[in-house]
Amino acid sequence: MQSIGSKKLRLLALTASLLAASATASAYQLTITTHYTGGCGGGSATVGTCGSPDTGWLQVQNTGTSAFTGTGTLSGVAPGQTINLSIVGTLGLGQSWVFNAGPESSNQGGFNKQAGGNPDNGLEFTLVGTADVAVNVDVFDKDIHSGVFRTNPFGINLDNYVLQGGDPFGRDTGDAFEETQAVGTLVVSSAAVPVPGTLALLGLGLTGLGLGRRRMGG
């Protein structure tokens, strides 16, 4: 005959197994990359003007387990150009959207400039929508880093501002520098979130353990 203690252990193991199987919803993960190349990028959906001969472009790819539905926008104001590019729709698993900031986004004087001679913010990218949970992402070119530091022709050592050619003040760094920048990468994702029923399962397990205690004590 099984002891009450062994039954408690089996119930606890079963509850833990059920919780592990259903404790989290599918998490979204979106990978944002910045590039500066000859021509331009292409994805499942593409917007903007290709560079001539080169330009910066941003890609957002769904690298998670949930589709994203909503709007992506790349925007910015520079002395020589205004960018306002949007894609609306569903970004399925493995799919990507590309925003081309041409022509020659490095030659426009720098985007979203700040007062007092401070470094530019750079082009701004936003994602607003849903992917199991609400998604609200707002980042600038300055926020997206490659991890590969280089000194630009103006003596600044940096690994960001890829879309405007690798200079925080929007100065033209020249094709040789612009086109050999490492790709900037930023991954945004949801935290694991409880799904309906998880708390009920937990309650069931705790109730079972409580009954076991009462039987042992009775």
Q: 215: pLDDT confidence band, cut at 50, 70 and 90? A: very low
The residue among 6 and 153 whose pLDDT is bigger is: 153
Place of tokens 């059920």: 18
Q: Which domain does 160 fall in, by range?
A: 29-189
Q: 24: pLDDT confidence band, cut at 50, 70 and 90? A: very low
Same domain, 141 and 38: yes
Is the model's pLDDT at 216 over the cut of 80? no
Same domain, 17 and 36: no
Same domain, 8 and 33: no
Model pTM? 0.78
Q: 51: pLDDT confidence band, cut at 50, 70 and 90? A: confident
Q: 12: pLDDT confidence band, cut at 50, 70 and 90? A: very low
Same domain, 10 and 36: no
**Structure letter (DSSP) for residue 25:** P
Q: What is the pLDDT of residues 56-100, one digit of tens each?
A: 999 999 999 999 999 999 999 999 999 999 999 999 999 999 999
Same domain, 105 and 10: no
Same domain, 171 and 66: yes
Total H helices, total E strands in the chain: 3, 11
Specify the pLDDT at position 1.
Answer: 53
Domain count of the fold of the chain: 2
Mean pLDDT value across residues 96-109: 96
Same domain, 213 and 121: no
Same domain, 89 and 12: no
Same domain, 180 and 206: no
* Cis peptide preceding 196, ω within 30 of 0: no
Upper half-sphere CA count for residue 43 (Cβ side, 13 Å): 24
Interacting residues of 67 by C-beta distance below 8 A, sequence separation 6+: 90, 91, 92, 93, 131
| Residue 174, both tokens | 């020249």
Interacting residues of 138 by C-beta distance below 8 A, sequence separation 6+: 124, 125, 126
Rounded Cα distance, 45 and 98, in Å: 6
Asked if 64 and 189 touch (Cβ cutoff 8 Å), the reply is: yes
Specify the pLDDT at position 10.
Answer: 55
Q: 5: pLDDT confidence band, cut at 50, 70 and 90? A: low
Specify the pLDDT at position 202.
Answer: 44
Place of tokens 């998490």: 27
Rounded Cα distance, 24 and 32, in Å: 24
Q: Nearest CA to 181 among 196, 160, 203?
A: 160
Same domain, 163 and 210: no
Q: 40: pLDDT confidence band, cut at 50, 70 and 90? A: confident
Asked if 127 and 99 touch (Cβ cutoff 8 Å), the reply is: no
Same domain, 35 and 125: yes
Same domain, 19 and 88: no
